Amino acid sequence: NAGVTQTPKFRILKIGQSMTLQCTQDMNHNYMYWYRQDPGMGLKLIYYSVGAGITDKGEVPNGYNVSRSTTEDFPLRLELAAPSQTSVYFCASREGQGANQPQHFGDGTRLSIL
Amino acid sequence: AQTVTQSQPEMSVQEAETVTLSCTYDTSESNYYLFWYKQPPSRQMILVIRQEAYKQQNATENRFSVNFQKAAKSFSLKISDSQLGDTAMYFCAFMKGGGSNYKLTFGKGTLLTVNP
């Protein structure tokens, strides 16, 4: 069972570079989320999507972009990497209706901006 | 906006003993859900237990149980018969119910170490 798959697992970027963090889920979940986890902190929501073609900002969207062209994929784009974006990034998904459905998380991507 | 507070940055417990992790939250919502997630060194986020706010009965999952005090807005996690594999960061999380986008708001976490 693949669940939520994130790639890459680790990446080092230089300031000003751009990259895309990939997230794929094979559970046909409507809802998908991107979080960042800074050292000693809980997860903070960057962007989320309630279905293909629909995305919305979370708590900390600045410096990021997302798209949701398919149900399965929800990539996160960093256009101009900054040291403040050094973090661990988690993608998650959940089924649609039913508030008691939990979020399923990927294994995270550790990103360092130098 | 909702806030979740975990006042214990770190805790430790001896193997086979019981430990309680604290969580308080602030919300004006009446329909919501609360969760405890575990994050071991492998970095995975694993759901431990969940509680629906409309249920008075405290949730239990094997060695894990919660003490949900709605009026006090408190949601503590009790781990009985602690095992070495319970060593992890534990996050308390809040989710508004009622057909929302089901976003989670997390606390900062408590690092639990189980000692042999």
- Print pLDDT tens along chain B (116 aa): 789 999 999 999 999 999 999 999 999 988 899 999 999 988 889 999 999 998 889 999 999 999 999 999 999 999 999 999 999 999 999 998 766 677 889 999 999 999 99
**Strand ranges across the sheet with A4-7:** A4-7, A19-25, A76-78, A64-66
Enter the tokens of residue A38.
Answer: 């800074």
Q: Provide the shortest C-alpha distance from residue B109 to chain A (in Å).
A: 6
CB pair distance less than 8 Å for A94 and B102? yes
Burial B69-82 (b: 16+ CB within 10 A, else e): eeeebebbbbbeeb
Alpha carbon distances (Å) from A92 to A46, B53, B69, B89, B99:
12, 23, 28, 18, 18
Q: How many CB atoms lie within 10 A of CB B43?
A: 17
Residues 6+ apart with CB under 8 A from A29: A71, A93, A94, A95, A96, A104
- Residue B89: CB atoms within 10 A of its CB come to 21
Write out chain B residues lying below 8 Å of A92, CB-based.
45
Who contacts A64 (Cβ-Cβ below 8 Å, separation ≥6)?
A34, A46, A47, A76, A77, A78
Mutate to test the interface with A, among B45, B51, B54, B90 (most CBs of A within 10 A): B45
Please give the pLDDT value at position B39. 93
Contact state of B101 with A48 under an 8 Å Cβ cutoff: yes
Confidence at residue A11, expressed as pLDDT on a 0 to 100 scale: 96
Interface of A with B in 69-98 (CB under 8 A): 88, 90, 92, 94, 97
Residue-by-residue pLDDT tens, chain A, 114 positions: 679 999 999 999 999 999 999 999 999 999 999 999 998 888 999 999 999 999 999 999 999 999 999 999 999 999 899 999 999 999 999 986 666 778 899 999 999 999
Please indicate whether, in this complex, the C-beta atoms of B109 and A45 are within 8 angstroms of each other.
Answer: no
The pLDDT value given to residue B102: 78
User: A51-76: string of b/e by CB count within 10 Å (b at 16+)?
Assistant: ebeebeebebbeebebbbeebbebbb
pLDDT of residue B25: 97
Task: Specify the length of chain A in residues.
Answer: 114
Residue B44: the pLDDT is 87
Kindly list the residues from chain A whose CB atom is less than 8 angstroms away from the CB atom of residue B101.
31, 48, 50, 56
A108 and B109 within 8 Å at the Cβ level: the answer is no
> Which pLDDT score is estimated for A67?
96
Cβ-proximal residues to A52 (8 Å cutoff; 6+ apart), any chain: A68, A69, A70, A71
Q: How many CB pairs under 8 A join A and B?
A: 61
Q: Does A48 touch chain B (CB under 8 A)?
A: yes
